A = this chain, B = another copy of it.
Amino acid sequence: MNKIELQKQYDEYKALGLKLDMSRGKPAPEQVATVERILTAITKNEDCFSETGGDCRNYGGLDGINEMKRLLGEMLGVTSDYIIVGGNSSLNLMYDTVARSMLHPVEDGCKPWSKYEQISFLCPVPGYDRHFAICEFFGINMINIPLNDDGPDMDMIESLVASDETIKGMWCVPKYANPWGCTYSAETVRRIASLKPAAKDFRIFWDNAYVLHDLTDTPDELPEIFAEAAKYGNEDMFFEFASTSKITYPGAGISCIASSPRNIKRILDALKIQTIGHDKLNQLRHARVFKCYDDIVEQMKVHMNIIRPKFEIIYRAFEKGFAGVDGVTWTTPNGGYFFTLCLPEGTAKRTVELCKEAGLVITPAGAMFPYGKDPKDSQLRIAPSFPSQEELAKAADLLTVCARLAILEKAE
């Protein structure tokens, strides 16, 4: 198709006055409607007691109720003593963990991170914009690490952490990585678990956001990180995060941090200063509806059946729209909420711009990179979950038109 024909297609889309939003990994209305039973899990005063008899309406219970610690532990493959139950936001737990580390030593004999002239985090890219925003907020320097289909570039990581004492952290989304969609291989996990960092207070933020969020019947498998780390005496090196945001309610779910019992104790010592404890009544609602791991697995199939067709609609539109277009590829993950569209260098920003002018909002180009800078300006994050199937078909088609137009413009 030549540029005149393409421009005509684009103008036709523009004339429709569309208002489409494919920018965030937000569960769809039909997904949040699948757990209505949470709303009626506790309706009477006598229902408000945890299995140990604690009154979930009142104060107490800094680390969460037993049944929720157990359930979250089963989700992550660890025992309850590795778990602190949080509020409705695992992002908040990650932010708090970084904030705490800035002002209080992460490890005996170390100084708070804010006492350094400059510290750095390793950031596999493309990655999650909110991780990078936390680093930027605290003035933490970010170092790009290329992400491959089996995980981040381990040669680079091993060499950097071994030589630089000011590298204090690394962000990882080890399963269905946002937005690439890959899962770290067993070998990658082993190499991460056995890292020998120069900094005693080097910590890996293991954001297991999509631990059970499969999209196919042949899901990826990720080794449990604390079992791996224990083999190398590295259990204290990991803070793992997860939540039910994309299992139950994005805005009213339950989050957790998992770490070695030694780290858990250290976190609780700070947490008792910070809060009276998180909402145990909502923990109890969740624990009453999801009594065991299998109950959650069942629920994840319900989500899969809603989300998978949405990914497939976009794949089909891309296959058709990008047929015969050189230099365009995309990932097709087995789970998670995103995949990545790779365009020829220097065309991603212009594509987003064209989309916006025609009424389609997608994640800004560059958002998946530290400081918002995609060095090649070539990647786009695709988030199929929220719009309806009809909207997605239109959005995906319009996106291909915009990308092809941007590619032709660039070639001129």
Contacts and interface: CB of A to CB of B under 8 A. Distances in A.
A278 interface: yes
Interface string A264-305: 000000100111111111100000000000000000000000
A372 interface: no
Classify chain A's interface size.
35 or more
B137 A251 contact: no
B55 A44 contact: no
B252 A88 contact: no
Interface stretch (A24-32, A150-158, A214-222, A350-358): A24-32
A252 B281 contact: yes
B273 A56 contact: no
A388 to B, nearest CB: 15
A231 interface: no
Nearest to A281: B252
Given A103-B102, A276-B91, A57 B134 contact: no
Nearest to A92: B275
Q: How many copies does the complex hold?
A: 2
Interface in A7-53: 24, 26-27, 29, 32-33, 36, 39-40, 42-45, 47-48
A371 interface: no
Interface stretch (A58-66, A76-84, A119-127, A232-240): A58-66
Interface in A221-272: 245, 249-252, 270
Contacts of A114: 103, 114
A251 B138 CA distance: 30
A283 to B, nearest CB: 9
A133 interface: yes
A273 B251 CA distance: 16
Interface string A300-324: 0000000000000000000000000
A75 interface: no
A57 B252 contact: yes
B55 A276 contact: no
Given A88-B278, A245-B276, 13 more contacts: A24-B59, A27-B58, A32-B58, A36-B44, A39-B43, A43-B43, A56-B251, A88-B276, A91-B276, A130-B273, A249-B281, A250-B276, A252-B282
21 contacts: A32-B48, A39-B43, A39-B47, A57-B250, A58-B249, A58-B251, A87-B88, A91-B274, A91-B276, A92-B275, A95-B273, A95-B274, A95-B275, A99-B103, A103-B138, A134-B273, A251-B276, A252-B279, A252-B281, A279-B279, A282-B282
